[in-house]
């Protein structure tokens, strides 16, 4: 269940961040308000995840997977440039996340 809290929080954070892009600088209020609501639920779920994982696991996984996911979304849907350095950097982040998730303890 703890992974469901964490992964759901990441999914909501990525969705909320993408909606900020869609909101065109907060000029489309519906997207802005939906984004804010998703951030609230996202942090609420992350709070539950922090009860079950240590902080040193939750936040790095949450931040790095969110960063990689938003970079991929930017590339696919918004035609943002992707370079070899970006790809290598995302792979390094992914390897770090795997290493963090294999740590013993909470």
* Tens digit of each residue's pLDDT (9 = 90 or more) over 8-33: 999 999 999 999 999 988 899 999 99
pLDDT at 99: 82
Structure tokens at 95: 């390897």
| Domains of the chain, residue spans | 2-101
**pLDDT of 26-77, one tens digit each?**
899 999 999 999 999 999 999 999 999 888 889 888 998 999 899 999 999 9
105: region left, alpha or beta (phi > 0 left; psi from -120 to 50 alpha): left
DSSP state of 28: S
Kindly list the distances between the CA atom of residue 55 and the CA atoms of 60, 69, 75, 82, in Å, as whole numbers in the listed order: 8, 21, 30, 31
Best CA proximity match to 14, nearest among 50, 46, 54:
46
């Amino acid at each position: 269940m703890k992974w469901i809290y964490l992964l759901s929080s990441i999914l909501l954070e990525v969705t909320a961040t993408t909606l900020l892009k869609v909101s065109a600088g907060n000029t489309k209020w519906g997207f802005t308000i939906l984004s804010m609501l998703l951030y609230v639920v996202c942090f609420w779920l992350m709070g539950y995840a922090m009860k079950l994982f240590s902080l040193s696991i939750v936040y790095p996984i949450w931040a790095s997977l969110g960063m990689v996911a938003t970079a991929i979304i930017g590339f696919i849907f918004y035609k943002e440039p992707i370079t070899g350095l970006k790809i290598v950097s995302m792979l390094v982040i992914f390897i770090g996340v795997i290493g963090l998730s294999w740590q013993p303890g909470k």
